[in-house]
Every structure is written in C-alpha cells, then in structure tokens.
C-alpha cells in the first residue's frame, strides 16, 4: 500500500542522517544512485526528502548508508514536497537558480505558451540531468537539462 507523510521533520531527519553517512563513507550521490538502481538526480532528490523510493531501492540505500528499517520504510513514503523555506534563498547555489528564474522566468513562460499553448511543464513526469563540460573560453560550464512533460490546461 502507498503511504504519504505530512511531517517534514521526519524526512528531514533521514536526509540529515543520510548525508552524514554519505560523508562518513566518502560516497558520491552516483554511488548511492547505483545502489538504488535509479538516476542520480531522482535518488538524490528522494534521499533529500523530495520523492519516495521504491521499496527495493529504499532498502538498498538504507543498507549502503547504514540506516535502520524505519528509515528505509520512510524513504518509500510520499513526502510533502518543497525543500526551500519561504523567502529568498540564501544559499548561493540555490539563489542563482532563483535568480535565473527571476531573469528568465517570464521568457520561459512566453516561449512555452507560444510553442505549446496554455499549460504547464510537469515537475512530476520529469527528468533532470546535470553535466560538467569544458568551456571553450577556459574553465568549465554546467549544462542543466530540465525535461518535463507538457500538460495542457483543459476547460471544464
């Protein structure tokens, strides 16, 4: 049976314990994802409290991180999503995404609506990828792909 959790503190406590175990074990998010058998973006989001994991993936993650049975079970529950508290984010990395949406949000909205019509890009039927690539001008660039299903607004 599928269960949902509404107490964000329980999932946050597991996220904290998982990150501590990740650091102690000198593990990467990719290694944790490999154990779960799912994408690194999805597993990272799940461990940080934003998605449920399938039972077998939750058990594998819990085993790798040394988390108990209760933690493994809680990793399978549907969380109350949202990881950024109210107000403007203060973490510089998260703030830059906020800044990008402040600058390009209306542009993205205009282009999506022009190309697709009235609707949204799903964050549920969604894929995320982050890659590091060489910058031809020197240094490195981040290539972030947000791939969501378009869902049209339907009159009723």
Q: Which residues are the active-site residues?
A: 96, 99, 122
16-23, long-range: CB < 8 A, 24+ apart = 17/65, 17/67, 17/71, 18/47, 18/48, 18/61, 18/65, 18/67, 18/71, 19/47, 19/48, 21/65, 21/66, 21/67, 22/65
Q: What DSSP element (H or E) covers 111?
A: helix 92-116
């Amino acid at each position: 049976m599928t269960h949902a959790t509404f107490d964000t503190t329980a999932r946050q406590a597991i996220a904290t314990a998982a990150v501590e175990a990740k650091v102690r074990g000198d593990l990467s998010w990719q290694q944790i994802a490999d154990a779960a058998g799912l994408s690194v973006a999805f597993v990272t989001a799940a461990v940080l409290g934003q998605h449920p994991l399938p039972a077998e993936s939750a058990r594998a993650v819990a085993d790798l991180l040394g988390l108990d049975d209760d933690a493994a079970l809680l990793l399978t529950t549907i969380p109350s999503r949202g990881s950024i508290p109210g107000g403007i984010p203060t973490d510089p990395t998260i703030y830059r995404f906020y800044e990008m949406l402040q600058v390009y949000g209306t542009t993205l909205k205009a282009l999506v609506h022009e190309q697709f019509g009235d609707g949204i890009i799903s964050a549920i039927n969604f894929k995320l990828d982050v890659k590091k690539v060489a910058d031809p001008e020197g240094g490195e660039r981040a290539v972030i792909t947000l791939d969501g299903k378009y869902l049209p607004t339907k009159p009723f």
